[in-house]
Structure 1
Amino acid sequence: MTSTTPTIRLADLRLERGGRVILRDVTLTAPHGSVTAVLGPSGSGKSTLLAALTGELVPAAGTVELFGQPVPRATRPLRELRKNIGVLLQGNGLLTDLTVAENIALPLRAHTRLPDALIDQLVDLKLNAVGLRTAEDLYPRELSGGMARRVALARALALDPPLMLYDEPLTGLDPIASGVIMSLIRRLNDSLGLTSIIVSHHVHETLPVCDQALVIANGGLVFSGTPAQLEASEDPLLRQFLRGTPDGPIPFDSAASARAA
């Protein structure tokens, strides 16, 4: 992949689950080095889009390309591709019986044959990158919500993936911790030369760190542009989403949302 090749390219994508269309006609690109926000109300299909990027969900139509190549369907090449993708899950996914350092070392021990001394050094580097070098001997139960999220981020970065996917990274965090996480995501993206996708419904915390914003609603992509263009939009649907009002083009009732999709 050259530096001019988009890290992500989606074309005419349609995603289905259980025979029901979740997203349709999604076309977008994420340039190398960019931070893209995928915004939308709960249940709109944001996490489904992530599943297509990781190869967990095969599109019903359209194409998904990562690093200039179609996402493979065969098990072995898909497994190799996933080594280039770091994922920060909503629930952190930390193993409670392992220390912070052992959690971060886990992907290094599973996917490499590096000696223990080098793994220990890499763990220190990752912890230092998220500002938690002194927490290596703590267990997940001893961490605050913001600390646990940063440990999960360090583990997602363990294999130095060029692409990072964040699934609702601010869930359960207070405003201060949320600000720390979003600032960290932007700083790591720039310092490590990553490409990042942030799936979120926390609009006002996410937009300031992003280069482009996408809004998913009613089964499709309803906006693609810069954060400034999104905030300046007079579209009734976008205004409803940004202001958080219950009445408007986006149905509040989940059953109505499902029928609309």
Structure 2
Amino acid sequence: MPASNANAVVLDGVRLDRGGRVILRDVDLRVARGSITAVLGPSGTGKSTLLAALTGELAPVAGQVQVFGQPVPRSARALLEMRKGIGVLLQGNGLLTDLTAAENVALPLRTHARLPEPVLQRLVAMKLNAVGLRDVAGLYPRELSGGMARRVALARALALDPPLMLYDEPLTGLDPIASGVITSLIRRLSRSLGLTSIIVSHHVRETLPIADQAVVVANGGIVFDGTPAQLEASEDPLLRQFLRGEPDGPIPFEGNPRAGASTPVEAA
């Protein structure tokens, strides 16, 4: 397969700013089609900013972002069309509280697809069944547990059958059992549907086992890009600090850069 078709996501020399401040710089990244990539790093280092560049919410100051071989467009109409192929699971679920679980899942279908009502309802039931929640179709978000609400949000993100799924801290606020259910679902759905999945998380131990690629973001850029096994085996002080959760080291607390911080490393 040609290199241009082998990657679902390509970032070349990307710089991302927010509020006049450089968040990420010199970002080069390749995400293979059909893979699961874990984007890890401490809070506030720019992981979610990276996702914003993929959806077109944030345009790069420098460099180029491509999704499935096409540059992320700038015009509103082209962006809307591109986003139909990207499913996003938000950290806070984003469920509408006055709609039932089924109505939440149906929302993107009603917005973007002209389907007969029986077909739409059948699709909604299929999506809820895919996340193990067909029986909660008539319940409202307030009647669901945190893990169930996250799964309904996942079903909604999958409603339009997007080839690319973006997960922004999908395990935040969940207990260990619910976290295990979500990671298992991400892995199963990614494999069975042939999705490309990018998971932004600081939950290392839960996310790495399902990932094909591990990326670590810290100190304004990508400091590691390789396999989970290579990350686990690395002796780089910055990576060891992150993996072990040590408060002192090359990664400063609260995002204040420190003189002498470790330079970026990349696995072979």
Cα distance, 1:257 vs structure 2: 4.6
Partner in structure 2 of residue 17 of structure 1: 18
Partner in structure 1 of residue 248 of structure 2: 247
1:253 aligned counterpart, secondary structure: helix
TM-score of the aligned structures, taking structure 2 as reference length: 0.94
CA contact (8 A) 1:38 1:213 kept: yes
Partner in structure 1 of residue 198 of structure 2: 197
CA contact (8 A) 1:101 1:123 kept: yes
Partner in structure 2 of residue 150 of structure 1: 151
Partner in structure 2 of residue 105 of structure 1: 106
Cα distance change of structure 1 residues 216 and 134 upon mapping to structure 2, 3 Å threshold: same
Partner in structure 2 of residue 74 of structure 1: 75
**Aligned 1:1-261 pairs, distance under 5 A:** 4-254=5-255, 256-257=256-257
- Between the two proteins, what is the percent identity of the paired residues? 76
Partner in structure 1 of residue 264 of structure 2: none
How many correspondences in the alignment?
A: 259
The separation in 2 between residues aligned to 1:195 and 1:129, in whole angstroms, is 17
1:72 aligned counterpart, secondary structure: coil
CA contact (8 A) 1:167 1:200 kept: yes
2:123 aligned counterpart, secondary structure: helix
Cα deviation digits, residues 71-91 of structure 1 (max 9, x gap): 110111111000000000000
| Aligned AA (1:165) | L
The separation in 2 between residues aligned to 1:5 and 1:80, in whole angstroms, is 22
| Aligned AA (1:190) | R
CA contact (8 A) 1:87 1:165 kept: yes
1:158 aligned counterpart, secondary structure: coil
| Aligned AA (2:124) | V
Cα deviation digits, residues 119-140 of structure 1 (max 9, x gap): 1000010011000011101110
Cα distance change of structure 1 residues 258 and 191 upon mapping to structure 2, 3 Å threshold: farther
The separation in 1 between residues aligned to 2:133 and 2:198, in whole angstroms, is 23
The separation in 1 between residues aligned to 2:254 and 2:93, in whole angstroms, is 28
CA contact (8 A) 2:5 2:69 kept: no
The separation in 1 between residues aligned to 2:241 and 2:193, in whole angstroms, is 36
Uncovered stretches (5+) of structure 2, i.e. residues with no partner = 262-268
| Aligned AA (1:73) | R
| Aligned AA (2:208) | L
Cα distance change of structure 1 residues 122 and 15 upon mapping to structure 2, 3 Å threshold: same
CA contact (8 A) 2:16 2:60 kept: yes
Cα distance, 1:62 vs structure 2: 0.6
Cα deviation digits, residues 101-146 of structure 1 (max 9, x gap): 0000000001111011111000010011000011101110111111
The separation in 1 between residues aligned to 2:258 and 2:95, in whole angstroms, is 32
Moved beyond 6 Å, runs of 4+: none
